[in-house]
Amino acid sequence: MKLGTGIGGWPGQAPEQAKLAEQNGFDFVNCGELAHDSMLTMALAATATESLEMLTSVTIAFPRSPMVLAMEAWDIQQLSAGRFNIGLGSQVKGHNERRFGGSWSAAAPRMKEYIQMMKAIWDSWQDGTTPEFMGREYRYTLMTPNFNPGPIEFPRPRIYLAVVGPAMARVAGEVADGILPHGGIMTDRYMRETLLPNVKIGLERSGRTWADIDIGLSGYLALGENDEDIQRNLDKLRVPLSFYGSTRSYHHVLRMHGLEELGLKLHSLSLEGRWQEMREVITDDDLLKLAETCRYDDYAEFVRTNREYASQMGFGMPHETAEQKLRAAEIMAQLQAVKTTGVPKGMEM
């Protein structure tokens, strides 16, 4: 199992953050794209590390052209000696139109074309193939020598795709190299009953198998050394749940668990800016309908038996004291030793 940790903030902090992650034994770092550029962050992280892999999680795709991201990813892959992977996300309509000043169309088919065009660009640079990708949203039919960076001596960047809905899951299975389930509003039940079955449909459409795609571990999970720790971390789930649960686009996840009314209540409170009350209306019973719990001593076995589909995961534990650092290193080693099948239970191909 590959373990990752996040880096972020002002890009100038990225080299030191990434170097520390490498020293602490992580396999990869990831970064989001909220107030700072994910590609710049990873380019800087690459300059300070030697073996650490990098994954944006995620880079917002639609405000940029596929050519722009293909070029940036190619450069970072060469700079990092083959350690860069790019995670793409669509964002929602409002942000694409009103924050980025861009356009919006059906996200899943557009993302499929986006990834196909990026791969076609890399094919022409690496193998000299003729640029002839023609989609409804994107077209790539021109590449002259002045604009061709040429081949690199490393594998092409792997493209991961952020997934919440069934249509995007099918696209991921069909054309992506990895899947980043939306951790903010993802439950194990939703993963198994909705997301993964649709990934399988996409894999079958493209003649691929589970071995052709990496899947990130997901599902609400509260961890701790003891029951008190677990309860504290369970309480912390109120923050992401109140934020994502207030968005109607994610209410189908709550509906599966009989919590659609909670989603509507959170949405109403968000419109009034009553942020603290949003967290307070979420009961412990609501949390336990969505989340699983586990002690750190049982964590590795939990992952092995309950997240058998996953090949990578984020990892974080308290590490302020020397004792905490030793404990974190112990659990980290146990998790990295976990071998999973990469195949969801009951979905063999």
Q: What is the DSSP string of 254-302?
A: HHHTT-HHHHHHHHHHHHTT-HHHHHHT--HHHHHHH-EEEEGGGHHHH
CA distances from 79 to 46, 51, 227 (A): 7, 12, 46
∠ CA 61-193-269, rounded to 5° = 65
State residue 185's pLDDT score.
Answer: 84
- Among 192, 150, 199, which residue's Cα sits nearest to residue 172? 199
- Residues 224/232, Cβ–Cβ less than 8 Å: yes
User: What's the whole-number mean pLDDT along residues 164-181?
Assistant: 97
Q: Does position 128 have pLDDT exceeding 90, yes or no?
A: yes
Q: Which CATH superfamily is domain 2-221+293-336 in?
A: Luciferase-like domain (3.20.20.30)
What pLDDT band is residue 29 in, cutting at 50, 70 and 90? very high
Domain boundaries along the sequence of the chain: 2-221+293-336, 238-290
Distance CA 2, CA 339 (A): 10
User: What's the whole-number mean pLDDT along residues 287-308?
Assistant: 97
What pLDDT band is residue 184 in, cutting at 50, 70 and 90? confident
User: What's the whole-number mean pLDDT along residues 90-98?
Assistant: 92
- Give me the helix-helix angle, 260-271 and 238-245, nearest 10°: 80
Tokens 């989609």 belong to residue: 135
Distance CA 111, CA 235 (A): 35
- Give me the helix-helix angle, 38-47 and 66-79, nearest 10°: 10
| CB atoms near residue 50 (< 10 Å) | 10
What pLDDT band is residue 92 in, cutting at 50, 70 and 90? confident
Give me the chain's average pLDDT, please. Answer: 96
What pLDDT band is residue 314 in, cutting at 50, 70 and 90? very high
Sequence letter at residue 98: R
What pLDDT band is residue 196 in, cutting at 50, 70 and 90? very high
Alpha carbon 187 to its chain centroid, in Å, reads 14
∠ CA 288-234-194, rounded to 5° = 50
State residue 347's pLDDT score.
Answer: 97
Exposure string for 218-227, b = 16+ CB within 10 A, e = fewer: bbbbbbbeee
Q: Please enumerate in sequence order all residues whose Cβ is within 8 A of that of 70, keeping only pairs 6 or more positions apart, or say none.
A: 117, 118, 121, 122
State residue 146's pLDDT score.
Answer: 97
- Residues 316/330, Cβ–Cβ less than 8 Å: no
What pLDDT band is residue 212 in, cutting at 50, 70 and 90? very high
Tokens of 222: 């509260």
Distance CA 278, CA 260 (A): 14
Distance CA 21, CA 52 (A): 8
Return the percentage of the chain with pLDDT > 90, whole number: 94
| CB atoms near residue 339 (< 10 Å) | 9
Q: Does position 54 have pLDDT exceeding 90, yes or no?
A: yes
∠ CA 158-159-160, rounded to 5° = 115
How many CA atoms does the CB half-sphere of 3 hold within 13 Å? 21
